[in-house]
Amino acid sequence: MSSRDEICQLKGAKLVLSICHLCPWQCLTEVYVRDSQIVYVRGNEEGPNRSSRCVKGEASAYFTRDPDRLRHPMVRTGRKGEGKFERISWDEALATIAAKLMEIKEKYGPEALAFMWHLDSNVMFPYALFAQLYGTPNCYGHNAACLQDRTLAAQTVFGHLNPVRDYENSRFVMLLGANPFEANQSLFETAGLIVALERGAKIVVVDPVYSQTAMKADEWLPIRPGTDGALALAMTRVILDEGLYDAEFAANWILGLEPYWEHLRENGYDPKWAAGITEIPEETIVRLAREFAAVKSAVADVGKGLGNYLGGLDASRVVFILNALTGSVGGPGNLILKEWAPLALPVQIPEDQQTMAERPPLHTAMGFPLAPDLPSALLPRAILAGEPYPIKALFFHSTNPVMSEMSKADFTAALRELELSVAIDLYMSETAMECDLVLPEASQYERAEIRQGLWLGPQIILGQPAVPPVGESKPLYDIVRDLARHMGYGAWFSWDSWEDWARVALADAPVSLEELRENGFWSGEVRYRNYEETGFGTLSGKIELFSSILEENGYNPLPCYISRDQTADAGPYTFQLVNSKLASHCNVSTQNNPYLVEMVSENWAEVNPADAKEHGLKDRDYAVLESPLGEVRIRLRLTERVSPGVVAVRHGHGFGRWAGGRIARGRGAHINPLIGVHVGPVSGANAYNEGRVRLRKA
């Protein structure tokens, strides 16, 4: 008997193959259901993450029975932001939204609507309705708040937005500002890293904080915050000066090696210079560069620890260049230029029936033509100023920018200026509290999804509804279908059940819906070094050390180090406020989950004991973190894990009045209002770690 059958027998349950979507990494999941209740979940044992689960995934079933979930559409009855809502029918809610949208289009043009989402493939449905039929070019994700510097760096260097890491086959892994044993991304990567460790791969972690990944590494390099670009530039200098790069690969596949090398020499980017900036000894930098170049399958990658600074784009580019110099990009153990599966749009609007926007998309109009996604931190000011053009209606799906963005004040002020604001969420989030209408969505195990898988090769993954939706909540595709009917576009959204659109999405796929239901996923071949057939996706078809697309758009084509001294005029705010993720929570989504709260109930500030002593602070004291923008009260943990001069806080807690979440409300500290709006000048990425604070006793 298979272990799946055993679980079914033991639990008296039936198995539904689905995906966990509690964080963006969408792990394949076995959901065991008895009497319309989920009784057990685990990783799909046939899938790439081999039954493994993170703790959030373990607790994920709670979302299907949380009594604090939104159950009905709600309409605002009080003043904007006052938080007074009452129940309304779906029909009334959608009719109100449709009428308002048509009025806004008439008055200001379709571009006055922007749709923002976080992590859902079902955004293809609002895309068809809002972008293709209504005609706004402004359908955006939340990438600027997330990994936008990595995305744009990969795009400019490799011509690929999301190279995936083949840790399992690597013998040398260098992680800069990434913490996969806590901020786990696709679990197959974490599992791969464990296999690499077991096989004796060397792991080097660069992080100002002794993270759980650093704890398992062979070497931890506590770097001065925001200076990784200098380290990476110096490492490439050693590899070039000592002739340790792969000359044949460079001759065939690299554009701009000579100008890049010359640029390093001209600017004095060398290990001695970098040691003075990073506080990593010169000998260590030289040794690491030599070790890295000596291992064919060595891989270096970045996380938010780089992107959270204003210089994050160039720093990330140089880390990718490091990989390029060894000639191992696209090969086993390195960064894989992932290929995508042939998934079609589930709703197909012929081109001649689409409405073409007259104005450019916001990111271009705002002066960030290369930003892969909207520079969302600047959106509120654009709304308030009416520049570059009026934005009058916002939809939020699975995103809570009032909590997640750097400026709560900006977002609330902007939301109050709008003519229409709609939040589609599981809870009455902080952003929902500011909106005119709030629509309840069915959660991950209550809806269907067909997505691209995120592991090495092309994959298609299926999320099947395992239990009925809570209350009157609906999947996004049905919300959009019903709204489209009110807007006069109903003919395009004509399915009765999700299987109808699923078959359209799978029309060109090498797998049928029936097969997907049986296995949960389809996985194609991983083609190492696929660039040999297709070239790289850059303008030149090569890896670009000298970026043509940056040059074409008037930016510096060569990566530079942005001095911290220019970016941080801190005055009395001498501590660098460093953000990171908690292993047992995901962003601002999980703080109402009692299992996860049992493990970690609030966030805290980590401070070096020497700094604490100077300020008369003791372990577990409450302290006040103060910036020029405000202050918060937070519990302290004194630890040598953080360098002096750094205050490290995990993101996600500190809800003042999170209406839907009785457990979440009031726990921990929300530090975002202290940070200020800092946005990468080319990528538009949020630089969450540019905040400076001072500390005092509470």
> Is residue 26 involved in binding ligand SF4 (CB under 6 A)?
yes
What would the DSSP string read from start to end of 414-478? Answer: HHHH-SEEEEEESS--HHHHTSSEEEEBP-GGGS-EEEE--SSS-EEEEE---SPPSTT-B-HHH
CB of 258 to ligand MGD, least distance (A): 29
CB of 304 or CB of 451, closer to ligand MGD: 304
Nearest residue to Mo ion on Cβ basis = 146
- What are the two backbone dihedrals, phi and then psi, of residue 436, each rounded to the nearest 5 degrees? -80, -40
Which residue's structure tokens are 């239901």? 517
Do residues 407 and 182 make contact, with C-beta atoms less than 8 angstroms apart? no
List the Cα angle 149/671/598 in 5-degree steps: 105
> Is residue 444 involved in binding ligand MGD (CB under 6 A)?
yes
Which positions from 578 to 607 touch ligand SF4 by CB under 6 A, shown as an x/- string?
--------x---------------------
Q: How far apart are the first and last CA of the chain?
A: 60
Nearest to 592 by CA among 530, 661, 666, 649: 661
> Is residue 582 involved in binding ligand MGD (CB under 6 A)?
yes
3-state secondary structure of 33: strand
> Is residue 647 involved in binding Mo ion (CB under 5 A)?
no
Q: Report d(CA 576, CA 689) in Å as an integer.
A: 7
> Is residue 310 involved in binding ligand MGD (CB under 6 A)?
no
Q: H or E stretch including 693?
A: strand 692-697
> Is residue 444 involved in binding ligand SF4 (CB under 6 A)?
no
Q: Report d(CA 575, CA 586) in Å as an integer.
A: 26
Choose from ligand SF4, ligand MGD, Mo ion, none: what does 27 bind? Cβ within 5-8 Å by kind: ligand SF4
**Quick one: which of 64, 429, 464, 547 contacts ligand MGD (CB under 6 A)?**
429
Which positions from 182 to 221 touch Mo ion by CB under 5 A, shown as an x/- string?
----------------------------------------
How many residues sit in the footprint of ligand MGD (CB under 6 A)? 57
Q: H or E stretch including 533?
A: helix 531-534
Query: Segment near ligand SF4 (CB under 6 A), from 18-26, 78-86, 131-139, 574-582?
Result: 18-26
Do residues 225 and 688 make contact, with C-beta atoms less than 8 angstroms apart? no
Do residues 377 and 407 make contact, with C-beta atoms less than 8 angstroms apart? yes
Joined together, the tokens standing for residue 403 give 């909590």
Joined together, the tokens standing for residue 351 give 């081109």
CB of 97 to ligand MGD, least distance (A): 15
> Is residue 667 involved in binding ligand MGD (CB under 6 A)?
no
The residues in 397-416 that bind ligand MGD, with binding defined as CB under 6 A, are 397-401, 404
**Quick one: which of 47, 271, 305, 330 contacts ligand MGD (CB under 6 A)?**
305
> Is residue 151 involved in binding ligand SF4 (CB under 6 A)?
no
Q: H or E stretch including 116?
A: strand 113-117
Choose from ligand SF4, ligand MGD, Mo ion, none: what does 305 bind? Cβ within 5-8 Å by kind: ligand MGD
3-state secondary structure of 617: coil
> Is residue 671 involved in binding ligand MGD (CB under 6 A)?
yes
CB contact set of 569 (below 8 Å; sequence gap of 6+): none
Percentages helix, strand, coil for the chain (3-state, rounded to 5) are 35, 20, 45
> Is residue 146 involved in binding Mo ion (CB under 5 A)?
yes
> Is residue 176 involved in binding ligand MGD (CB under 6 A)?
yes
> Is residue 184 involved in binding ligand MGD (CB under 6 A)?
yes
> Is residue 685 involved in binding Mo ion (CB under 5 A)?
no
Nearest residue to ligand SF4 on Cβ basis = 57
**Quick one: which of 13, 16, 54, 454 contacts ligand SF4 (CB under 6 A)?**
54
Query: Segment near ligand SF4 (CB under 6 A), from 50-58, 95-103, 358-366, 395-403?
Result: 50-58
Amino acid at residue number 680: G
CB of 441 to ligand MGD, least distance (A): 4
Q: Report d(CA 273, CA 408) in Å as an integer.
A: 39
**Quick one: which of 69, 474, 651, 678 contacts ligand MGD (CB under 6 A)?**
651
Choose from ligand SF4, Mo ion, ligand MGD, none: what does 206 bind? Cβ within 5-8 Å by kind: ligand MGD
Burial class (CB in 10 A: 0-12, 13-18, 19+), 279: middle
> Is residue 443 involved in binding ligand MGD (CB under 6 A)?
yes
Nearest to 478 by CA among 465, 494, 462: 494
Q: Which residues bind Mo ion (CB under 5 A)?
A: 146
Q: Which residues bind ligand MGD (CB under 6 A)?
A: 23-24, 118, 142, 145-147, 176-179, 182-185, 206-209, 211, 223, 225-226, 228, 303-305, 397-401, 404, 424-427, 429, 441, 443-444, 578-583, 585-589, 651, 671-672, 688-689
Q: Which residues bind ligand SF4 (CB under 6 A)?
A: 20, 22-23, 25-27, 53-54, 56-57, 60, 184, 187, 586
